[in-house]
Structure 1
Amino acid sequence: MGNDNRADKIALPVFSRRSVLGVIGGSALLAGAPGTAFARTLLRPATRFPVLTKIINDYVAQKKVAGMLAAIGRDQSDPMVIAAGTQKLGGDRPVDIDSLWRLYSQTKPVTGMAVMMLIEDGLLKLDQPLADILPEFADMRVLQDPEGPIDDTVPARTQITIRHLLTHTAGLGYSIISKGPIQAAYFAKGITPGVVSRTPIPGFESGLATPDIATFSKNLASLPLVYEPGTKWSYSVSIDLLGYVVEVVSGQPLDEFLQKRMFDPLGMKDMFFRLPVDRVKDFTDNYIPFNGALIPIDPAENSIYLDKPAFAFGGAGLVGSAADYDRFLAMLLGFGTYRGTAIMQPETAKKGMSNLLPESVNLSGSWIANHGFGAGGRVGIGTKASPAGTYGWGGAAGTAAFVDTANGFRAGGYTQYMPASSYPFQADFPKYVYADMMQNKAIGGGKTSP
């Protein structure tokens, strides 16, 4: 991750890559969120969200976080914002809707929708073999034991497809999830598309530096799969690899494609894979909670996001504002259109937010057991624990975002601490939102938009 002269001034606890990044998607995001239509009662004042408002104020008052913010909107109206705290502990800049946050795996739905746009363009097919685009993946082998020797393999029976990559069912590994020799092999070949800090974190393995995306793809293809494609949901580097698919079929690197086809048309001016120097003033600090204190691991003024990444990490690379991510969510609520600007057809957006999992996939013990999964995000399957019309994902630094198309609203929660499992905010964020909406209905709240 690189070194700097601050390393000897910060007494860091020992963490592992798994502990810091291992809940990068939020293991309970959307679980248990009610599926009834009371979301239509969403109101403007923050007092209509007493549960969420209290949670946010308490986190800041108790110095669990430096700052915390929620942005909630109905249909495509401006979002209501609940915010407390500052961009850094002891700082004087309050967090607001234009503050910049490390989104980490909240990047995945953005990349997923970029892939859906290319499917709409006719440049990709959902069930197209990956080897059609990246020939190095034509003859993959699969580990006999997911944690066993990497030379104990059998030929893959199934070709990896675009569907598999979108839904984490391609059989690929992840350095934050995999164990044993395959994890070591990922480190040795730089298959670690994620950044945390310029300051070394004790126990946080960095491995070889991540190479350019073409080399990344070839290195990944040279290693065996952890599972047979289409058989097991396993969080992976598949969305990062899809960034290269976007580049090959569109002729533009992922960041340029997103800028041209999504960010500029939607007016998303604050989404970056590399933080501009003149935006440091708007950037939040990132922390590790430890023994009741917050240890800064990526201060804004010395952030690793100021460095040029090896490539635009489609699975975990974006820094962005709540305002911009809210526009992305509002576009999804508009099924591809935001305030008259269409970036994809309604059927394309609906498909991306639908359950794209292969029918035979095993979800047991996974983060999405009893849920569906679409283009880079979890989707509801129409049960009490998995409401129909929901789609969303979270990030490693405690952020969470989702849409509820059945009830016409979207919500995003933003803060910065790692690992996200240190506190229940990310996992329980939808529950806080829905609890307040239920109360709104109980007191006869009407249909006022936020």
Structure 2
Amino acid sequence: MNRMQRLTALLNSFMEKGPAGCACTVVQRGEVLYQENLGYADLAKKKEISPDTIYRIYSMTKVITCTAALMLYEKGLYQLNDPLEEYLPEFKNPLVHRYNEVGDMTVSPAASSIRVKDLFTMTSGLTYGGIGTETERKTRAIMEHAAATMNMRELSRQLAAIPLAFDPGTHWKYGTSHDVLAALIEVLSGQTVEAFLKKQIFEPLGMIDTSFRIPGDKRDRLCVMYDRSEDGSLTVNDRMDGPYQPGCQYESGGGGLLSTTGDYSRFAQALARGGELEGAKLLSRKTIDLMRTNHLSGQQLEDFNWPQMSGYGYGLGVRVLMDPAAGGNNGTIGEFGWAGLAGSYTLIDPQEELSVVYMQQMLPSLEPYIHPRLRSVIYGAL
């Protein structure tokens, strides 16, 4: 039996615990080692997952956004250590929310500018919306209306008006940095993010089903998203689908793309093979090496302590495997990638020329359970 077929039993076990359906594609040196679509894209209609099922990939968008920004870096349009305000003037003279030991808050100037690199590495002081800090609360108020009313330049200006959660470069905090990176791409390229991605990445790689919006003729291919309750029962979640509708200007560099397993697999395989696939060149091997180098140190690495990231550092928009022993991880040092809110996952390993793309649509995603098991079975089958 092909050792990769163990994956089928694993994927079936995932569906017993959660997702209505899932898909996985494993490619090495251009050869498809494994490709399977299991379960349902729509339980009510008994519509099965198929190779052309379209998924909300959420934060797997970040890897594409960072690749696009690095393509502009390779053109010499900016340097990673440049102050961000040289390109996005709204970030000049940033402020920071500061708290003393009893929790009293003040606002004062940041110790330094945000560097372009801080956007890639999530060390900018920008956050996602939340309730923990004043920065998170103010961000939440903006993000609640962002998709309906803003494009990426306007979002960047609104986020720049919020005092940061910390001095740039001092901490790691997951947040809207890659949305601001999308605004930077627009300024440097003179195009919308989608226009740039389409011309420079999607069309050259033949990614015909990857976009920020769902056209009418593809709507029936969009996988239903489900909320999973404690007892494992699934209910439809369509609350978050506003940004995908035609006419929406919001093109989130941090989480806005739709894609298929096949499309994303072509992108991942290009990065696994030194930045090129079938004549379409995205990045040089050397820039990919910079992307998959850990850029965090000290306090920042302590901040990046998600349970499923044990043994990983963080590079230019991607997790990077540094210490396999720390995470009980049978992967390759330098393996990189990221995951999406609803459970999608990519693994890219240039040393093995290996790429993995897994898709599902469920909240919560059970990512800490699912993704490490995928990885251990796949590497165990090589």
Same fold (TM over 0.5): yes
Is 2:185 the counterpart of 1:246?
yes
Q: Which moved more, 1:371-380 or 1:145-154?
A: 145-154
Shift of 1:84: 1.1
Change (3 A) 1:426 1:121: same
Which amino acid letter does the alignment assign opposite residue 185 of structure 1? K
| Alignment match, 2:132 | 179
**Equivalent pairs: percent with the same residue?**
29
Query: Contact 1:76–1:333 at 8 Å: present in 2 too?
Result: no
Candidates 96, 107, 113, aligned match of 2:67? 113
**CA distance in 1 between partners of 2:3 and 2:45 (Å):** 29
| Alignment match, 2:8 | 53
1:72-151 counterparts in 2 under 5 A?
72-78=26-32, 80-145=34-99
Query: Contact 2:213–2:245 at 8 Å: present in 1 too?
Result: yes
Is 2:334 the counterpart of 1:396?
no
Shift of 1:371: 2.3
The RMSD of aligned alpha carbons is 2.6
| Alignment match, 2:173 | 234
**CA distance in 2 between partners of 1:286 and 1:97 (Å):** 17
Shift of 1:341: 2.0
| Alignment match, 1:406 | 351
Change (3 A) 1:356 1:193: farther
| Alignment match, 1:320 | 259
Report the 3-state secondary structure (helix = DSSP H, G, I; strand = E; otherwise coil) of the residue aligned with 1:411. strand
**CA distance in 1 between partners of 2:367 and 2:236 (Å):** 15
**CA distance in 1 between partners of 2:276 and 2:25 (Å):** 19
Query: Contact 1:79–1:326 at 8 Å: present in 2 too?
Result: no
Change (3 A) 1:405 1:192: farther
1:38-437 counterparts in 2 under 5 A?
47-60=2-15, 62=16, 64-78=18-32, 80-145=34-99, 152-176=106-130, 179-190=132-143, 209=148, 211-290=150-229, 291-298=231-238, 305-357=244-296, 359=297, 361-366=299-304, 367=306, 368=309, 370-384=311-325, 385=327, 387-421=332-366, 424-437=369-382
Change (3 A) 1:429 1:308: farther
**CA distance in 1 between partners of 2:294 and 2:248 (Å):** 32
**CA distance in 2 between partners of 1:407 and 1:336 (Å):** 14
Which amino acid letter does the alignment assign opposite residue 129 of structure 2? S
Report the 3-state secondary structure (helix = DSSP H, G, I; strand = E; otherwise coil) of the residue aligned with 2:226. strand
Change (3 A) 1:168 1:75: same
**CA distance in 1 between partners of 2:376 and 2:342 (Å):** 19
Q: What is the total number of aligned residue pairs between the two structures?
A: 374
Change (3 A) 1:278 1:79: farther
Which amino acid letter does the alignment assign opposite residue 363 of structure 1? L
**CA distance in 2 between partners of 1:225 and 1:303 (Å):** 28
Which amino acid letter does the alignment assign opposite residue 335 of structure 1? G
Shift of 1:124: 1.6
Query: Contact 1:101–1:320 at 8 Å: present in 2 too?
Result: yes
Report the 3-state secondary structure (helix = DSSP H, G, I; strand = E; otherwise coil) of the residue aligned with 2:195. helix
Report the 3-state secondary structure (helix = DSSP H, G, I; strand = E; otherwise coil) of the residue aligned with 1:246. helix
Q: Please give the per-residue CA displacement for 1:321-351, whole angstroms capped at 9, x wherever unaligned.
A: 0001000111001211002221222222222
Shift of 1:58: 2.9
Higher relative contact order (CA 8 A, sep 6+): 1
Q: Which has the higher helix share?
A: 2
Which amino acid letter does the alignment assign opposite residue 122 of structure 1? G
Query: Contact 2:129–2:143 at 8 Å: present in 1 too?
Result: no
Shift of 1:245: 0.1
Query: Contact 2:151–2:250 at 8 Å: present in 1 too?
Result: yes
Query: Contact 1:112–1:239 at 8 Å: present in 2 too?
Result: yes
Superposition TM-score, scaled by structure 1 size: 0.77
**CA distance in 2 between partners of 1:182 and 1:104 (Å):** 22
Report the 3-state secondary structure (helix = DSSP H, G, I; strand = E; otherwise coil) of the residue aligned with 1:189. helix
**CA distance in 1 between partners of 2:270 and 2:97 (Å):** 40
**CA distance in 2 between partners of 1:225 and 1:148 (Å):** 20
Change (3 A) 1:147 1:316: farther
Query: Contact 1:51–1:435 at 8 Å: present in 2 too?
Result: no
Which amino acid letter does the alignment assign opposite residue 262 of structure 2? A
Shift of 1:241: 0.5
**CA distance in 1 between partners of 2:101 and 2:45 (Å):** 45
Shift of 1:242: 0.3
Report the 3-state secondary structure (helix = DSSP H, G, I; strand = E; otherwise coil) of the residue aligned with 2:18. coil
**CA distance in 2 between partners of 1:224 and 1:168 (Å):** 16
Q: Which has the higher strand share?
A: 2
Which amino acid letter does the alignment assign opposite residue 372 of structure 1? G
Change (3 A) 1:420 1:308: farther
**CA distance in 2 between partners of 1:312 and 1:180 (Å):** 26
**CA distance in 2 between partners of 1:160 and 1:407 (Å):** 35
Superposition TM-score, scaled by structure 2 size: 0.89
Q: Which moved more, 1:143-152 or 1:238-247?
A: 143-152
| Alignment match, 1:197 | none
Query: Contact 1:148–1:181 at 8 Å: present in 2 too?
Result: no
Report the 3-state secondary structure (helix = DSSP H, G, I; strand = E; otherwise coil) of the residue aligned with 1:144. strand
**CA distance in 2 between partners of 1:106 and 1:173 (Å):** 18
**CA distance in 1 between partners of 2:364 and 2:146 (Å):** 17
| Alignment match, 1:12 | none
Change (3 A) 1:66 1:304: farther
Query: Contact 2:342–2:364 at 8 Å: present in 1 too?
Result: yes
Shift of 1:192: 7.0
